[in-house]
Chains A and B, each alone.
Chain A
């Protein structure tokens, strides 16, 4: 059971990483980041069955942080959109040195 869970979470995480690296749309990248977080959550839960409840506690924390991050992140994306009329990250490089 553990092996399958870990395998699944690895697939999810890889999809998330590939999504972050390849996509240009900020919303999609954002969703991919969420995917990576949830892959990690799955790993925590899988291990929690064997090593005690600490993993589940961590999942709660990660979800909380992810919620906060979603709020802030979406707000930033909306501001960027208002400013630039786009969420394509290739066009957003105002912090370049």
Chain B
């Protein structure tokens, strides 16, 4: 079945790596099982009254539920769609229903006045199987990945990627694309992160989503996502990668709109999907250009062909920029970042897995994977870094004034992704991947922690039948005393993302900023000019933006923690008694992620921290993949700052982080906050920040409304209704009818007239023959 493409035997042949195909297939199996389960009705019909089983299971008079179940038309979420929608309509508030708890709980909220007594939410009847299958396939995948990692470590010297060709996918003319998987050091890192963090988030989801009527469907989507993500990082050529790329986009869409009965959620899913399509267009064009000009789409083949073309070619720059357009879409960079904050409409574990830890980093992976292309084009690389830097600071400023706890984290994610693009833009591919890994740890922790908070808030509001917003930080405050574990773990993640030493984020962020600074001299980037600006100056600007973003990061993260966990509680007097720590199935994964956030920095210690352990492990590990490309950017030398410069850089980074935390701690007064419903509208620049610079409104004016208007007035009413329907379809009918009318007028019914016409005709024919 497996055809080894390399003529020489690969050092990994015969090891656990031979089971590479099983890695994506395990989540796919989980998808099939959970998908099949989700097709079954959510609740068993009661023996007494088959039409009203749902109602009896709850002891509620859910009119909508009962009717829909009576017809047997629906399985899960649709069944509670009616009540949820009515609740949203009553509130006019998308946050209220946008995240947090299951629909089941919400439908209780919505009908608490109908049913004063409170029945426990009934989980899906196959919830038991789904909670085993869903996480189990991920754990198995992770174990398999670890086995492969061990095999890879033990193998003597793995320079070339291990490529397994399974079958020819497309063979037409010169185009030959095989369904091939590739495992090298880079994809190994990605696989470990995806399956490892993914498994933890799956376990967390068991607690978070347990009572949702769409529980098996949730796990089906989540498993499918992991399958596509693994295809993305394991594909041996761009088309296979693109399959994964599109697949994760699909799963993202499905999961953002998981509670699709709420229009805001469905719209958020559509927005993500459409914005991603713009990026995917760039990816496709880049692939077409690659094939047309380089004649290959395999990573290995493209790398060889690109090396022959050499640096500074306009073609490679163009290809890289189109690839970067794809990255900007998938990884939420300016100008295509707008979908990510809206994507928070999905369940919080989804935000953690897809919109923080894995999928959104696919763009970073793509650039690191295509380092052999980007390193040939300083212009494209500088573009990547600059866009990353601008995105980092732009999103960080927005994060300063968000009140929704998940929105803060969303903008933080956009900002941190900007950092990763700075890294891969300046050719510090290892630093980018390093930050990707540590960010996966601490951002997953932050999101899952916020999930625990929302869970607790929702449970509290649910218990008292309150309609407050469970995600708004103005309604929180002082949660630390109720949920000490969550507070401690989220503080670890906050210190990590802020860049406090020995926490993981410090090392990765410091490495990125240091790499930018070092490359400002003696690199191909510094020597290039970008739109007339010397690369060196641009790199200093990027460094400055990076430091400024680090300051803002520390401020907005501390702000979030202060408002959530510290100060007086603003939840409400009666609600306060119902605030509880989340169950262990949710806190457990947080603990593991907390440990990883704390220790993740040991993956790649800088030389100056050699007393802590082995230096540059990730550098060494990824050297076979990106080493050559990184060298090309730094003109063949290992970039090295002097000891003092390095100390100064680290000192700056730490000082900025500490300063940010201190500023936030000193300036922000959680005690002065009032709950959301009593809060006044902010004014001036704060208002601009709270409304995200009105970018969504601007896009709406500049792009969406003109497009809609053009589509409606020109394409629909003008072209479709007017030209096609009016002129072509109805017009031809009118012409036919006109001819028919003329013909019918000839048909007078007067036989005499007919005879005259006949005779005249005969005479004319005879005359024509005679006179010829």
Q: Which residues of A contact B748 (CB under 8 A)?
A: 93, 96-97
* CB < 8 Å neighbour of A95 from B743, B745, B749, B756: B749
A20 to B758, CA, bound (A): 11
List chain A residues, Cβ under 8 A from B747. Answer: 95-97
Partner of B749, one of A17, A20, A21, A94: A94
SS of B interface (majority): helix
CB A69 to nearest CB in B, in angstroms, measures 15
Is B7 part of the contact surface with A, judged by Cβ < 8 Å?
A: no
In this complex, which of A29, A93, A94 has the most chain B Cβ atoms within 10 angstroms of its Cβ? Answer: A93
- Name the CB-closest residue of B to A17: B759
Q: How far is the CA of A90 from the CA of B749 in the complex (A)?
A: 9
Cα A25 to Cα B759 with chains together (Å) = 19
Q: Mark A68-85, 1 if CB is under 8 A from B, else 0.
A: 000000000000000000
In angstroms, Cα B756 to Cα A90, docked, is 14
Determine whether the beta carbon of B749 is less than 8 Å from that of A96: yes
Q: Does B744 contact A (CB under 8 A)?
A: yes
Tell me, rounded to whole Å, the shortest Cβ–Cβ distance linking B763 to chain A.
10
Q: How far is the CA of A31 from the CA of B14 in the complex (A)?
A: 107
Question: How many of B's residues come within 8 Å of A, CB to CB?
Answer: 13
Q: Judging by beta carbons under 8 Å apart, are B755 and A21 in contact?
A: yes
A89 within 8 A of B: yes
Chain A residue nearest to B744 in the complex (CB): A97
In the assembled complex, the Cα of A97 lies from the Cα of B751 at a distance in Å of 13
Which chain B residue has the least Cβ–Cβ distance from A23?
A: B752
- Which B residues touch A92, using CB under 8 A? 749, 751
Q: Which residues of A contact B745 (CB under 8 A)?
A: 97
Distance of A92 Cα from B753 Cα, bound (Å):
12
Q: Given the known inter-chain contacts A95-B747, A97-B744, A97-B745, please indicate yes or no for A90 contacting B759, CB distance below 8 A.
A: no
The CA of A24 and the CA of B745, in the complex, are separated in Å by 21
CB distance from A7 to the nearest CB of B (A): 18
In the complex, what's the smallest C-beta–C-beta distance from A71 to chain B, in angstroms?
Answer: 19
B73 within 8 Å of A by Cβ?
A: no
- By a CB distance below 8 angstroms, the chain A residues around B749 are 92-97
- Cross-interface CB contact of B752 among A24, A96, A97, cutoff 8 Å: A24
Q: Which of A24, A89, A94, A97 sits near B743, CB closer than 8 Å?
A: A97
Write the chain B residue with the least CB distance to A22: B752
B63 within 8 A of A: no
Q: How far is the CA of A95 from the CA of B750 in the complex (A)?
A: 8
Contact of A90 with B744 at beta-carbon distance under 8 Å, contacts A17-B759, A21-B759 already known: no
B746 on the interface (CB 8 Å rule)? yes
Decide yes or no: A89 and B759 within 8 Å by CB, A97-B744, A97-B745 being known contacts: no
Closest to B741 in A: A97
Q: Is the Cβ of A21 less than 8 Å from the Cβ of B756?
A: yes
Closest to B751 in A: A89
Q: Contacts of A89 on B, CB cut-off 8 Å?
A: 750-752
Q: Does A21 contact B752, Cβ atoms closer than 8 Å?
A: yes
* CA distance in complex: A94, B750 (Å): 9
Residues of B contacting A20 in the complex (Cβ-Cβ under 8 angstroms): 755
A residues less than 8 Å from B752 (CB atoms): 21, 24, 89-90
Are B755's CB and A90's CB within 8 A?
no
Q: Which residues of B contact A90 (CB under 8 A)?
A: 750, 752
Q: Would you give the shortest CB distance from A72 to chain B, in whole angstroms?
A: 16
- Complex CA–CA separation, A21 to B748 (angstroms): 16
Q: How far is the CA of A28 from the CA of B770 in the complex (A)?
A: 32
- Cβ contact within 8 Å between A93 and B750: yes
Contacts of B759 in A (CB 8 A): 17, 21
Shortest CB-to-CB span from B27 to chain A, Å, is 71
Complex: A94 Cα to B747 Cα, angstroms: 10
CB distance from B222 to the nearest CB of A (A): 70
**Residue among B747, B750, B759 with most chain A CB within 10 A:** B750
Residue of B nearest to A93 (CB): B749
Q: 0/1 per residue, B730-772, Cβ < 8 Å to A?
A: 0000000000000111111111100110010000000000000
For B750, the closest partner residue in chain A by CB is: A93
Instruction: Pick the residue among B746, B755, B756 that contacts A97 (CB under 8 A).
Output: B746
* Distance of A95 Cα from B749 Cα, bound (Å): 5
Instruction: Using CB atoms, name the residue of chain A closest to B760.
Output: A21
Q: Which residue of B lies closest to A18 (CB)?
A: B759
10 more CB-based (< 8 A) A-B contacts, given A89-B751, A97-B747, A97-B748: A21-B752, A21-B756, A21-B759, A24-B752, A93-B748, A94-B749, A95-B749, A96-B747, A97-B744, A97-B746
Give me the interface of A with B, judged by CB distance under 8 Å: 17, 20-21, 24, 29, 89-90, 92-97
B: which residues have CB within 8 A of A? 743-752, 755-756, 759
A-B contact pairs, 11 of them (CB 8 A): A21-B752, A21-B755, A21-B759, A29-B751, A89-B750, A89-B752, A92-B751, A94-B749, A96-B747, A96-B750, A97-B743
The 4 A-B residue pairs whose C-beta atoms are closest, nearest first, are A93-B749, A96-B749, A97-B744, A97-B747
